[in-house]
Structure 1
Amino acid sequence: MTTSFDFNRAPFNSLNTAERDRVAAALDVAYYAAGSVIQQQGEVVDALLVVMKGLVREAGESGFYGCFDVLDSKSLLSGNACCTLHAQEDTLLWHIRRDVAMKISDANSQFAAFFYADVARKLAALSQPVQELQPRVADAVLHTPCWLAENATVMDAARLMKRAHSRAVLVREAEGVGIFTQSDLRNVVVDGLDANHEAIYRHLKRPLICVKAEDDLHHAMLLMMRHSVQRLVVLEGDEVCGVLEQVELMSAFYNNANNPRGITAQIGRANHPDALLAAVKSTQQLIRTLHGNGMKITLLAELVGEIRQRLFSRLFTLLAPPEMLPHVCLLVLGSEGRGEQILNTDQDNALIIEDGYQHPDLERVCSEFNQQLITFGYPPCPGMVMVSNPQWRQSVAGYKRQINAWTSSASSENVMHMAIWLDARPVCGQLALFEGLRQYLQQDLGDNAAFLSRFALPIEQFSPPINLFSRLIATAGPDKDALDIKKGGIFPVVHGLRSLALQYGIDECNSYQRIQRLSDTGHLNESFGRDLAESLAFLQGLQLKAGLLNQAMDKPVDHLIDPAALTTLERELLKDTLSVVKQFRQLISHHFKLGML
C-alpha cells in the first residue's frame, strides 16, 4: 500500500528522504463506505488523512476532496477536527499518525506551513523557498559610505571621492543626512563657483532615497526608476551600511534582455511613436522572465507599472504639441491605474483639460494615442473608456458635472464609472488638474451613506465561487466549467477596498496600499488585512500564470482557470484564499448594510 503514496504532491514534496521513510512507516489505509461519516467536527484527531481513492464531502460548505487531497489540514496542529467529513462515494484514505506528522512539522518548517490556520502566514511561508532565491541588496557590491562634516567644502568632497573611488559622499546634519554626488560636483564647476570655499551643505540632496539591505534587488531597481536616481543609500536597521550604485545593481543579475532600466532608457530615447514598440516587446519578455524566476506578484506589478507609466507618458508627449502639455492631464484607469495590471489588457484612459483651454489638434492627438496603443497590443476598451471618447476627454468643469451626476444617482452605469474614476492615476501633463478633481469628489460626496451602499453593492453581483470550485475538483472531462478568478476572487476584494477607501477619504488607489491605510487607521483588522493582501496576491498570481499560458498558446488572455489543472498545493491555497474573500464579502455586506437594499 505504501508504495503508491505519492511523495511528489504537496506538502510531502518538502520532505527529505528520512522524513519520507518515517511517513511511509506510519501509513495505514482505511475504507469508508459511501455516506459514512469520516470525522465529526470537534472530535480529537489522531491522524492526518489523505485521499487515496474516492470522493470526500465537507459538511456545510459543500466542499469536495479528491485523490491525493489532504483532508481538514488545519486540524493537524490544533488536534481537533475543524469540520465534519462524509464519504461521498466508496473511499480509501491514507492515515498518517498525528504524532509522526507533528514531529516532522517541528523539524520541517515548509511541511508545517501547509497546516497553518493563518492564511497570510501560510502563503508567506510556502513561498519562502522561491523568495530566498531572489537576489538581495546585500548580495550586490555595495560601496562603503564616505562621510564628511557639515562644514566641509565642495573641494573636500571632490578629494574624498577621488581618494575613495566613490561617486558620492554623505553629510550628517542636524535635520538628517544628505548626499552630494558627482553630478552635483559637475554643476558647481559649470556654475563657476569656487569649490575651495563653496560650502557643501548648500548642494546636498534630501531626503535620501534608501533601501534595506534585506530587500529584493528588483525593489531597488524600482526605486531607482521611480525617483530617477543612479544610487541608493542602503540601511541595516536605521544605520547606513553602504551605497548601491546603478552599475553594480545592473551587473548583479540583469542582462540586456531583461533590464528594466534599459527598457525605460529605450522609452526615453524614442523620437517617434513606432520606436516604442521595441520597448513594449521587451517588457513582455521581462514579465515572462521575472515571473519564471519567481518574483513576487506585487513587486512585478509595481515594476511593470512603472515601465508602462513611462511608456504612456512618452507616447502622449510624442503625439501632443509641447504647448498642449501644461494644460491637460493624462490618466490611466482601472487595474492599470491601481498599478496591478501586468499583462496587456483593454486600455482604460482619460484626459482632463484645463477650463477654457482649446487646441485644434486635441481630438487628433487623443485618437492617435488610442490607435497607437492598439498597435502595441492594448485592445480598445469595450465600454469606450478612452481619451478618444469625449465623455472621457473633458474640462475640469465638465468632470465636476460628471462627478455630480455619478454621485446623485447610483445607477449601475454611474457606479461603474465612479469605480473606474477612483482608480485613476495621472501619468503625464499638469498633475494639479487631477488633484483638484480628487478633492472635489470628496467634497461632493460628503457623508452620502445611500450612495456608498449602492456603490459597494456590486460585490454581491457574483456568487462566492468556493462551492463551484469544490464541485469542479470533483468532476472531470473536457466539458467542465472553468473558474473566473477575476469575478469570483479578485473583483470582490478590489471593489470592497475601493468602497472603504471612498468612504474614509483614502487617496491611494493601489489595493495593497488601501489595505495598509485601512489597517493603519483602524478601519480594517490588521491580521485580517494581512490575510487579505496575501490572498489577493495569490489570486493575481494565478491570473498571471493562466494569462502567460494563454499567450504561449496564442490564445486571448482571459481570467479563467481550470482548478483541476492546479497542483495539490495550489488547490489547497485557492480554497484558503477564497474563504478569505468570502469573509471579506460578508464584512463589506454587513458594513454597508447591503442586505437592506
Structure 2
Amino acid sequence: MNQIQQRVSSFIKGFPPFDLLPSEALSAVAKSADVYYCQNGDVLFREGQSPLPYFFVTRKGSVRIASNDLLIDMCDEGDVFGVRALLANDTYLADAIAEENTILYKIPLNTFKKILAEYPAVANYFASGFASGKSLPQTPFRMLSAAPAPTNFMSGMQVIEGRREVLACVADTTIKSAATMMSERGVGSIVVLNAQGFPIGIITDKDFRKKIATGINDIHQSVSAIMSSPVICVAGGGTQTDYLIDMLTKRVHHLCVTENGTQESKVVGMITEHDLLLLQGTNPAVILREMDRENDYSRLKELRRNASSLFRQHINQNLPVSATCRIATAINDRLIGRVVEKVVKELGSPPCPFAWLALGSLGREEQILLTDQDHALVFSQGDHQTYFLQLATMVSDQLESMGFPRDPADVSAENPKWCMSLEQWKSQFSKWMTTPEPSAILHCNIFFDFRKVYGDSFLTDSLREHIFHTQSDKALFTALLAKEAVETPAPLSFFRNLVVERTGENKDQFDLKLRVLLPLVDCARVLAITQGVAATQTIKRYEMLKQHFPERKSLFDSAMEATAYAIGLKAKSGFTNSDNGRFIAPEALSKLDRQMLRNIFETISEMQQMLKLSFQTDTLR
C-alpha cells in the first residue's frame, strides 16, 4: 500500500464495521477507496436519487442527513452513510449535504460486496441499520464484537440439546423391576410415563436410599409409590448455565427433556447435573451450591465477590446480557435468602409468615452491579412490626458489609413505612391509586416492581392480585402513570453533542439511567400494569405484552433488545469505573455505542408516543 492507502486503513480500522475485519481485508478496502474533498454546502446526493456506485465514510468534518428539512442525522468522524440505497438497490431516502469543509472516503460497492460475503459480522452490521442515513425501522440492537470470548467463559453458554435414549417404565411397574432395569443399564434414574408416553414421575438412586433401604416401602409395590412428581421438564437447546440454574433453583438433579418443554409432551432426553458438571468444572452453579452450604457471613461475601468477577468477564466478552442477568438474579436471590435464613435463626422463629421483597433493579431481575439495596417486607397479620424491623436491620447490615450500599432515599424494609402487614400494604396501594398525587405516582413506580426473594409466595401473590383488581377502574391513575413515563423524552440523536448533566458532581456526563433505562422501564411498567402482566423484568414484560398488542410486536422486540443493550452498557461502565454505571463520560462511548444509542432513542420515542396516544397524556395537567 502507498502512504495514502495506509492512512485510510489506519483510520477506518478504528470504527465499526471496519474494526471487525482482519488486516488483509482492511488493506483491500483501503486500496479501493478514493479520498474526496467537499466544501460547506456541497450536495453529495439527493432524496429520490438513484444510488451512486459507492458509499461514504467521514474522515473529517460533518455531513447533514435530512429529509424535507427534517434533520435525521449528523455524520461526523468515522460515520458511514449512503449504504442503505446501495444494499436495497433503491433510491436515497434523504439528502446528504456537507455541513462544513469535509474530507470523505468513497468505498466502491463492488469491493465491499466481497467483504460482505466473506465476513457475516460486517453484513449483520449493515443489515441491522447501524450505518447512518435513514435507519431501518425497528432494527435489532446486536452486540457485535470482533474478539471471541475465552473458552472458559463461553462454555457456560454451550447449547445442550439433551437428546438421548431415556430409561422409562409405566406406573404399575414394580419397584424391583425398575431397580433391575436401572442396574442393567447402569443409570441413576428412570422416568415413569403415562399411557400417552408423557412423563408423570421420576425415580432416582436417592429414592431407593430414602424409601426402600429404610423399609418405608416394599420392592413389590408399584413405582408410583416412590416416584417424585411432577417431573421438572425443559425443552432442548438451552445453555449449560440455563439448565444448571434450573436445577439449583428447583432443587433437582435431573431435568426431563420433552418435545415442547412441558409434561404434556413425549420425553426425548434427559439432562443430569453430573453430565453438566463434567462439561465444565467451574460455573455459576458452583457459587450457588456453595452459598447453599455456607453458614459464615464472610464466606458468603467472598462468594458474592467471586460472582462479580464472573459478571465482569461475561459483560466484557459480550455474552448475552439476558443470561448474565438471569445468573446474577439467581445468585443475588440466593445470597439474600441465606442471609435472611441466618438472621431468622439468630432472632428466633418469626411470629407469622412473611416475605422479603426486592425492589428496583433486583426486583426487575436486572441487577448485575453491587448497587443500592431497595427492599420491603410484608407479613401476614397482627402487630409484629417490631420483630420484622429488627430482622430487616440485621439483614441490611449484612448486605451492606457484602457490598450493597443502603438506599439513600431509605427505600428499605427497615423503614417502618415499608415494613407492613398484608392488609396495610393493600390499603397503601389502594390509597396511592385512588388519590394519585405526584408522591403517590413516584411510590408506585418504585413499589410496583416488587418481587418475592424469600418467604411466603401467598402474600406477594395476594398483593399483586389486589393491585391489578384495584387499578382496573382507575383510568386517571394509569393515565398519570403514563404521563410520568413520557416526561423525559429521549434525544433523537447525539448529532455532535450528548445531552449531559450541566451541574453537580456528574457535570458533563451522560445519564444513562435517566435518558435510556428509565424510559424503557417506565413504559413497560405502565403497559404491564394495565394489561395484568405479572412479570417484573422489563424484557419479560415486553415479551408478554406482544400477546396483548400483536400489532406492536416489532416495536416491543426493539424495546427488549434496547433494554438488554442499555443494561449491558451500564454494567460495563460500572465495572470500568467501579461505580453504579449510571453516568458515562461521552468520550468513553465508542462509535458503535453512539450508533446503538441513536437507534435506542428512536425506539424510546416510539414507545412514548404510543403511551401518549393510548392514555391521552397531553390532555392531563
TM over 0.5: yes
Give the corresponding residue for 1:573.
Answer: 596
Contact preservation (8 Å) 2:56, 2:107:
yes
Distance 1:411 1:190, change over 3 A: farther
Give the corresponding residue for 2:8.
Answer: 5
Once the 2 structures are TM-superposed, how far is the Cα of residue 106 of structure 1 from its aligned partner?
4.2
CA distance in 1: counterparts of 2:267 and 2:379, whole angstroms: 45
Is 366-375 or 75-84 further displaced after alignment?
75-84
Q: Note the 1:39-438 alignment, pairs <5 A.
A: 39-46=45-52, 47-59=54-66, 60-61=70-71, 63-78=73-88, 79-116=90-127, 117=129, 122-124=140-142, 126=144, 134-135=154-155, 144-174=165-195, 176-177=198-199, 178-190=201-213, 192-193=215-216, 195-234=218-257, 240-255=267-282, 259-320=283-344, 321-324=347-350, 326-358=352-384, 361-438=387-464
**Under a length normalisation based on structure 2, what TM-score does the superposition of the two structures give?**
0.86
Contact preservation (8 Å) 2:43, 2:97:
yes
Once the 2 structures are TM-superposed, how far is the Cα of residue 410 of structure 1 from its aligned partner?
2.2
**Matched residues, percent identical?**
25
Give the unaligned 5+ runs of structure 1.
none
Partner amino acid for 1:593?
Answer: Q
Distance 1:172 1:5, change over 3 A: farther
Once the 2 structures are TM-superposed, how far is the Cα of residue 274 of structure 1 from its aligned partner?
4.4
Instruction: Say whether residues 1:29 and 2:25 are aligned partners.
Output: no
Is 26-35 or 191-200 further displaced after alignment?
191-200
Once the 2 structures are TM-superposed, how far is the Cα of residue 125 of structure 1 from its aligned partner?
8.0
Q: Deviations over 1:396-431 (max 9, x none)?
A: 222122112211222222112111221101122222
CA distance in 1: counterparts of 2:245 and 2:411, whole angstroms: 29
CA distance in 2: counterparts of 1:42 and 1:203, whole angstroms: 74
Give the corresponding residue for 1:448.
Answer: 474
Contact preservation (8 Å) 1:301, 1:340:
yes
CA distance in 2: counterparts of 1:469 and 1:250, whole angstroms: 49
Once the 2 structures are TM-superposed, how far is the Cα of residue 469 of structure 1 from its aligned partner?
6.1
CA distance in 1: counterparts of 2:410 and 2:143, whole angstroms: 43
SS in 1 for 2:414: coil
Partner amino acid for 1:455?
Answer: L
Once the 2 structures are TM-superposed, how far is the Cα of residue 337 of structure 1 from its aligned partner?
0.6
Give the unaligned 5+ runs of structure 2.
130-135, 501-505
Once the 2 structures are TM-superposed, how far is the Cα of residue 25 of structure 1 from its aligned partner?
4.4
Specify which of 504, 512, 519 is matched with residue 531 of structure 2: 504
Give the corresponding residue for 2:571.
Answer: 544
Contact preservation (8 Å) 1:212, 1:236:
yes
What RMSD over aligned residues (CA atoms) do the two structures have, in Å? 3.0
Contact preservation (8 Å) 2:63, 2:97:
yes
Once the 2 structures are TM-superposed, how far is the Cα of residue 550 of structure 1 from its aligned partner?
1.0
CA distance in 2: counterparts of 1:128 and 1:173, whole angstroms: 50
SS in 1 for 2:141: helix
Contact preservation (8 Å) 1:152, 1:200:
yes
Q: Note the 1:551-570 alignment, pairs <5 A.
A: 551=578, 556-570=579-593
Q: Deviations over 1:37-65 (max 9, x none)?
A: 33333322222211122222333346332
Specify which of 529, 539, 551 is matched with residue 556 of structure 2: 529
Once the 2 structures are TM-superposed, how far is the Cα of residue 226 of structure 1 from its aligned partner?
2.0
Distance 1:71 1:306, change over 3 A: same
Is 206-215 or 245-254 further displaced after alignment?
206-215
CA distance in 2: counterparts of 1:480 and 1:36, whole angstroms: 37
Q: Deviations over 1:355-377 (max 9, x none)?
A: 22427533322222222222111
Q: Deviations over 1:440-459 (max 9, x none)?
A: 11222222221111112223
Once the 2 structures are TM-superposed, how far is the Cα of residue 522 of structure 1 from its aligned partner?
2.5
Once the 2 structures are TM-superposed, how far is the Cα of residue 264 of structure 1 from its aligned partner?
2.1
Contact preservation (8 Å) 1:120, 1:534:
no
Contact preservation (8 Å) 1:469, 1:563:
no
Distance 1:404 1:246, change over 3 A: same
Contact preservation (8 Å) 1:110, 1:125:
no
Q: Deviations over 1:531-562 (max 9, x none)?
A: 111111111111111011012xxxx3231223
Q: Deviations over 1:7-63 (max 9, x none)?
A: 533212334566545533432222221233333333222222111222223333463
Is 524-533 or 462-471 further displaced after alignment?
462-471
Contact preservation (8 Å) 1:325, 1:429:
no
Distance 1:458 1:84, change over 3 A: farther
